[in-house]
Amino acid sequence: MNEPSDGLFLALPFLGLLLSIALLPGLMPRFWLRNMGWVSLGWSAVVLVLVTVVEGPVIAWHIGWHVLLVEYLPFVTMLGALYVVCGGILVRGGPAGTSAGNTLMLAVGMLLGLVLGPTGAAMVLIQPLLAANQHRRRKVHLVLFTIILVANVSGALTPLGNPPLFAGMLRGVPFFWPARFLIGPYLVLTGLLLAAFYGVDRALGAREPAPAAGARPTLRGRRNVLLVVLLALSVMLQTVDLAEMRLLGEPITLSRLGGCFSAMAIAALSWRITPTSIRRANDFAWHPMAEVAILFAGIFVTLAPVSHMLQGGSVQALFPWLQEATGQPDPLAYFWLAGIMSAFLDNAPTYLVFFDMAQVDAHAPGPVLTAISCGAVFFGGLTYIGNAPNLMLRAVASHRGVPMPSFPLYLAMAATVLLPAFLVLSVLFFIGN
């Protein structure tokens, strides 16, 4: 994979997997449900065969094993642990399924994202939000705005549970830098989106049956809240620089490996101490987690050549307008391009590509890193694959009977909501900075 053309050629399996995720659920739903694992495995095998032909079997083995051990294993263990732990937290009562109540619940979800991370907050919120709106026929917009706001935007102020900002912290960006410098775009975007949600929900709710009377909020599974905090701490511990060990020839730090085992242990503990009645009330099922684990295994493997191509400087060569006339990086260009690429690729490596391209000084980050960070975080809700919780929330909602839109239709709906708000952010924060 030394030549750009090789990188472009090896990116075809990733595009094939994206098209499969986008088209097959709508065109061949039964086939997709029964064979998504084989589809994911098939595209992964294709990319490894192509790498074998181009670079040889040793490089193919190294790429596949590195991705699964160093990148995918920490990802899936942490996400799986959050799914199990949050599935043991039962919230009932509170605001009834009115427009004001639903907007308040989303706002509470935004606050939870600061503590639990966007994935944890979204998994805690989605069940009570859908339960409060059982009387409604139209619920897709509830899931759409939960994905956009809670599963993505809520993580803009902290590296905890937010892969791109976490990657920046590993590069030396101060832990509290996002809270200081992303607070402006975060508040403006949150205000715009909550207002948009209220308007949409009020219009749709006018033609729905009246909700039941609200009840006093109740919380069961409190011990699982503490386990979420432990998961957040285990993520922070992975930043500690410990010794490395080799597994089948691939180096991995003891802190990262320890984080994987910690996540699995916390998930096992949650499963042991949580009453079955809580998980039953939450309609807990393994299918949503299994679907995400299967699809992202293929995404991680097929994405590897794409990441290599990006790191080789292809983006800067293709988009010279990333630089202003003065030769300085243009924050507006970085915001939009980093955002659009993050919506269709893994946002953490995309963040790092633009971080390196702009030659960001981690000890004195400026407006360009603000633009990159906002793009990587805020655009994540534009597609199902922009962030891992998106697919999980879609699977949870589908399991509860919500007819979630296809990949292209979701993209169109999310773009209708997000793009006008991004234009506002561009004018307020990135033009002329």
Please check whether residue 150 is in contact with residue 114, taking contact to mean a CB–CB distance below 8 angstroms. no
- The reported pLDDT for the residue numbered 6 is 47
Give the Cα separation of 378 and 156 in Å (integer).
8
- Token pair, residue 340, equals 């659009």
- Token pair, residue 60, equals 């193919």
Per DSSP, the three-state class of 90 is: strand
Closest CA to 154 of 195, 129, 182, 132: 182
Please check whether residue 323 is in contact with residue 139, taking contact to mean a CB–CB distance below 8 angstroms. no
Q: What are phi and psi of 256, to 5 degrees?
A: -70, -40
- The reported pLDDT for the residue numbered 5 is 43
Three-class secondary structure assignment of 278-338: HHHHCCCCCHHHHHHHHHHHHHHHHHHHHHHHHHCCHHHHHCHHHECCCCCECHHHHHHHH
pLDDT in tens, 325-384: 445 678 898 899 899 988 887 677 778 778 877 777 766 678 889 999 999 999 999 998
- The reported pLDDT for the residue numbered 60 is 86
Give the Cα separation of 410 and 205 in Å (integer).
20
Give the Cα separation of 24 and 37 in Å (integer).
13
Give the Cα separation of 234 and 252 in Å (integer).
16
- Token pair, residue 385, equals 């694959």
Torsion of CA 297, 302, 308, 313, to 10 degrees: -120
Give the Cα separation of 138 and 102 in Å (integer).
13
- The reported pLDDT for the residue numbered 319 is 56
Q: What are phi and psi of 138, to 5 degrees?
A: -100, 110
- The reported pLDDT for the residue numbered 4 is 40
Closest CA to 42 of 240, 295, 336, 269: 295
Please check whether residue 127 is in contact with residue 91, taking contact to mean a CB–CB distance below 8 angstroms. yes
Please check whether residue 146 is in contact with residue 102, taking contact to mean a CB–CB distance below 8 angstroms. no
Please check whether residue 391 is in contact with residue 353, taking contact to mean a CB–CB distance below 8 angstroms. no
Residue extents of the structural domains in the chain = 63-430
Residues of the chain with pLDDT under 50: 1-6, 325-326
- The reported pLDDT for the residue numbered 135 is 83
- In DSSP terms, 90 is beta-bridged to 220
Distances (CA, A) of 411 to 138, 203, 340, 395, 415: 18, 21, 12, 16, 6
Distances (CA, A) of 386 to 131, 268, 336, 381: 26, 28, 14, 6
Strands 244-247 and 215-220: unpaired
DSSP 193-248: HHHHHHHHHHHHHTTSPPPPPPEEEEEE-HHHHHHHHHHHHHHHHTTS---EEEET
Give the Cα separation of 150 and 126 in Å (integer).
10
Give the Cα separation of 13 and 250 in Å (integer).
24
Contacts of 350 (CB under 8 A, 6+ apart): 164, 310, 338, 341, 342, 376
Per DSSP, the three-state class of 173 is: coil
- In DSSP terms, 219 is beta-bridged to 91
Q: Which helix (H) or strand (E) holds 183?
A: helix 183-205
